[in-house]
Structure 1
Amino acid sequence: MAASDFFLQRQLDALMAKAVNQDDQLWVKTDQHPVKRLEQLARHYNGHIRQRAVLRLGYMHQSSSLPALIERANDWAAPVRTAARQSIRRYITLQDAVVLVNCLPDFYRLLNGERDDHQRLVDEVIQFLSLPQNRPRLLDGVCIADKNIARIATQVLIEQQLFPPEIIFQQVSQQQDCMVRLMAAKAVLSHCAAVTTGRMQELLRDSYPPIKQLALHYVINQKAEVSLPLLHLLLLDRNELVRKRAARLLDAGGLSPTEYYLSVFNDSSRRVAERSLALLGLDEQKYPPVEELALKSLDSQQPGMYRAALRVIVWHQQQEAREILLEAISCPSPVIGRMACRQFIKLKLFLLPGELQPVLDTHPSADRQRLCLALASSLNLWDSLIFLLNNAAIFEKSLTQQAISGWKVRANRSGNQPDARQKRELLVLLDHCSDDLFRGKDYLQKLLSS
């Protein structure tokens, strides 16, 4: 132990011996783990203790302590911040390059701190990692499973131009994080010399839509060639913008996207997902009979095709699609029911009192109950309360209470008065309603009785 380290330890022991500094919540004495003890003391409320703990951590030079030191670099006490920076600089060594790479997110979070200007410290770390002997460690960082480390490592490699874009692209090709792949794709596409046929195919086959969009944008601007099978694959992509750009390329080559979409849609041997995407593609290409095709597809027993057809019909008919949406809400598939419910609310369509109850009676599942509660706001103000109270025994109590709270907010903003039928039904329902379900029901009963 160095003399200065021993002196710091003596000071810490003297400070912690005082009763005023003994905080059982923050300091747990662990003689077997002195590093952990110092990390705890680095968060002590006494700044003198924090300062000495930070300095001692720097002398002990344990890689696991670096995040704690970076945290103290933004301490509210200036002497502690200075001590933390001093200890952090002890880690700027060749042996600790991997540790610095793993702590890059912590360093970048410092830049958001307002207690001091941390740019100089962060720049020192980046410049050190940018040295030729440390660049391989930074390149390895883009493959780390932690997406925050991988993203910042990729950002540093690209901004500092430490490796050619094609090397970075090759390194991140197996990275699971889509944002890392997107950064590498932008770097490659910004250097035309790095764009090869193989790399372009890899970009166009990526699972992340923005990467495919970016690659197609490059192909359109540079008038590059894409193989016909790959274009056909992109025409059936799940992303609308990818489909449109692929159709634009196919059309520029003298081929009709509409004909390809029709061939896929009419081919019963193709997968349902492909045929449903072909229907959406026909709509995007403004194929005149597409609405008729969509109406016929509503008879399909496949949820994917039904959803695509419903999307096309709603886009063309808007509020006239009310009856179709109401039927779709009653569909056994919960996915279609949720989609129809969202569209119903989005279009601000109205509901009649007798139209919502059959939906709940037909499918009284928990998922359908939530849909009916969401649709209750489309009913008349007082009919929606009748619906909620009438089905209070079916719905979960917490969901009913939440819906009634929303109804009260709606009622306070409305001047709509109940008619005689609504008054009669509400008075009967409120008599059987518990106070914890509808707080303030007595006031409403008096109002309805007057």
Structure 2
Amino acid sequence: MILIALVILAAVLLLVLGFEMFLVLGVPALMIKEFFYGNLPDPVLAQKILGGINHTTLLAIPFFILAAELMGAGQIASRLTGLVKTMIGHLRGGMGYTTIGGSMAFGSVSGSAPATVAAMARMVYPELRKAGFSDRFSLGLIVSSAETALLIPPSITFIIYGWMTGTSVAKLFVGGLAVGLVLGVAFAVMAAIEARRSGVERAPRTSWRERLVAIRQSGWALGMPFIILGGIYSGYFTPTEAAAVSVIYAILVEGLVFRELTWRKLFDVTERAAISTAIIFILLAMGSLLSYFITLAQVPTAITNFLEAIHAGPVMFLLIVNVCFLIAGMFIDPNSALLILVPPLFPVAMALGIDPVHFGMVVTLNISIGMITPPFGLDIFVASSTLSKPVMTIISGLWPFIIANLIVLAIITYVPDISTFLPRLVFG
């Protein structure tokens, strides 16, 4: 218990003092080594840091990040959103549905919530306001809808969770599809209620001719999710191979078909993707070191013994997991929350008989909520920067969506079949 208290105290202190997250993860690990495992050779630390990120599954992360940057800078994202608008934009509140569907479509080829916010905000915000939605609701809907990018495959969060726990990434992708759709439906219900409350008018219905034209114009854009998801689910690609193919496809389509990708733009996009990748991998390296010491100190066993002492079963444990992740999501970035909390909690979940895919859905949905939760939700600041809107204005529009998220989280937590039905159906 002294070790647990030391780790928590050191991490909180560094976080409050404003240190970078890789230090918040790394310094407590080094303190544990120095004070409790001083005879451990220093080369072991280097082996754990480098070995922690030396995994083929993680190769998918830089590829998906680069693919997302390419699509956000080109035409693929806007054409996917345009197709969704053509199909459902005529419904009452149709622009709200378009925002949700467009975010899910972009998420299905990027796996990144911040990238989805940045790509979607400029496209749909003026249209939402023009349709009659309030400023606050429009901002809340844009930021919240981007959450689905962490649940609709290919999700970078699922890749990291699968790497940490040994869970099949393909099964996580399939399970995330169902959970993402449930969350999308919840947001659609909110959009429908707001449309009626605000008197949002119906847009003119597009003709079938216009829809066919939109399908033809977005054909190359539709090829991206078809290649990624179809390739993975058919077993033709691994997630890592699908990520590499998505980059090649995005470069060819944006450069040769849409002619949006210049050499200068390709350089800028690659630079941004490299920086994002470096940040994530530094966190993963430090997180793997902290995870090693957590396991060495038998922290999961201590947690299991505590739960047994208070006679807590799976229901109480999952409630504790939700509370821990929701609190962590308010203050630290999602990858850091994943790296800190999953190593001690996952073995306990397995000991209690919780399905690893179901646990992954609960964890990822919690992380999704953390992306939009004040005071430090990352997507809030991305939207503020993209649209030049005050942070407090965005936060005021998010509260109804946070409540909706918590309701969906409770359903996903205690109805595990939502998470596990499709993986069982697809993989047996």
TM-score, structure 1 length as denominator?
0.17
* TM-score computed with the length of structure 2 as normaliser: 0.18
Higher share of residues assigned helix:
2
Q: Which has the larger radius of gyration?
A: 1
Higher RCO, 1 vs 2 (CA within 8 Å, ≥6 residues apart) = 2
